[in-house]
Amino acid sequence: MSRLHELARVGQSVWFDYIQRSLISSGELSRLIREGVRGITSNPAIFEKAITQSGDYDVEIAVLAREGKDVLEIYESLVMKDIALACDVFMELYAESRGVDGYVSVEVSPHIAYDADSTVREASRIFELLAKPNVMIKVPATKEGLTAIEELTARGVNVNATLIFSVKRYEEVARAHLRGLQRRLDGGLPLDSTASVASFFVSRIDTAVDAELDRMGMKGLQGKAAIASARLAYARFKELFSGGPWDRLASRGARVQRPLWASTGTKNPGYPDTMYVDNLVGAHTVNTLPPATLGAYIDHGRTAATLETGLSDAEKTMEELEAAGIDLASITARLEEEGVKAFQRSFDTLLEGIGRKRDEVTGG
């Protein structure tokens, strides 16, 4: 039994934070599923790397270009095909897990992250276009995104709420999901087919906080903010998804919106390479791992449940950071804004790359 299967027994699912056509066509994705991978996430940065830095899509780009497709049409054709193919590969796991796992996530355009109405329209369109029960639509958890998350959940769209950096925003996302489920219940609609995760980004928190602490000369608190934040968010998850209001939804088939730990690749080479996996193991959670972190975890990761072992320490860490003058609310707000901008840049770079390849095969 692999470490990934052992994690699943504890209640945590590992999803792979990467997608590329050759990953699917070579059979590598099927092998990873046998190894214990239980889903896939993608984002504009991942597709930018996959499409512009490989030759996997060149022939298809040429065919679409000769058909007169513009850059956006080519982009959508390539991405939707990858997502659909991956959904098919995961369909058996989706069925075996009764809809708990086997999901493939694709993000709406990051350029509409601050437009709730456009996000709802685009996410609904993609969900209907793919017509796969195991696809999740990634929606940036901006303030405007909260409105979209509630509305999409009410419509029965599977949502991966992404770019969450603070416990406060996590709670707002969870409450938006619960409001959406309640609206479905009030409308006499089924709840058991609607799934969601809340993607809490971890390593970027430490990168930002550590930089502030370094300037203050307070190295003793470095490398603690992210895991402490995640543990506090998990504590809120357990509170929100238990008790009267939730029990009424659960009795009608509602699924918990699982916390998903994202940005789990260790940015600081001085930290253990499985730091954001080993310390965030708990029931009803997902950890999405990029290729290097997945390989490291399979090789030497730990599977003991750790999420609830240091809650008092997490609270103490937050108090110490505040006493040191760290404004975590300001830092996480900045990280959200920077995250949206980074995805926008990757999306634009991707389209530019497709445009160059299109021009190459059509003579400009």
pLDDT in tens, 317-331: 999 999 999 999 999
**Mean pLDDT of the region 299-303:** 94
pTM for the whole structure: 0.96
Q: 219 pLDDT band (50/70/90 cuts)? A: confident
Instruction: Give the integer Cα–Cα distance in Å for 160 and 257.
Output: 9
Flag whether pLDDT at 234 surpasses 90.
yes
- When the pLDDT of each residue in the chain is averaged and rounded to a whole number, the result is 95
Query: Which CATH code is given to the segment(s) 3-362?
Result: 3.20.20.70
Beta carbons within 10 angstroms of residue 1's beta carbon? 8
What's the confidence (pLDDT) of residue 309? 86
What's the confidence (pLDDT) of residue 326? 96
- 341 counts as catalytic: no
Return the closest-CA partner of residue 208 out of 318, 331, 316.
331
Flag whether pLDDT at 363 surpasses 90.
no
The mean-pLDDT minimum among 47-56, 73-82, 86-95, 283-292 falls in: 47-56
What's the confidence (pLDDT) of residue 364? 61
Q: Residue type for 302, please?
A: R
Q: Give, in degrees to the nearest 5, the angle at Cα 198 between 317 and 47.
A: 110
Is 158 in contact with 135 (CB distance < 8 Å)? yes
**Mean pLDDT of the region 225-233:** 97
Instruction: Give the integer Cα–Cα distance in Å for 65 and 216.
Output: 54
Domain ranges of the chain: 3-362
Given the residues 138, 143, 219, 267, the one annotated as active site: 138
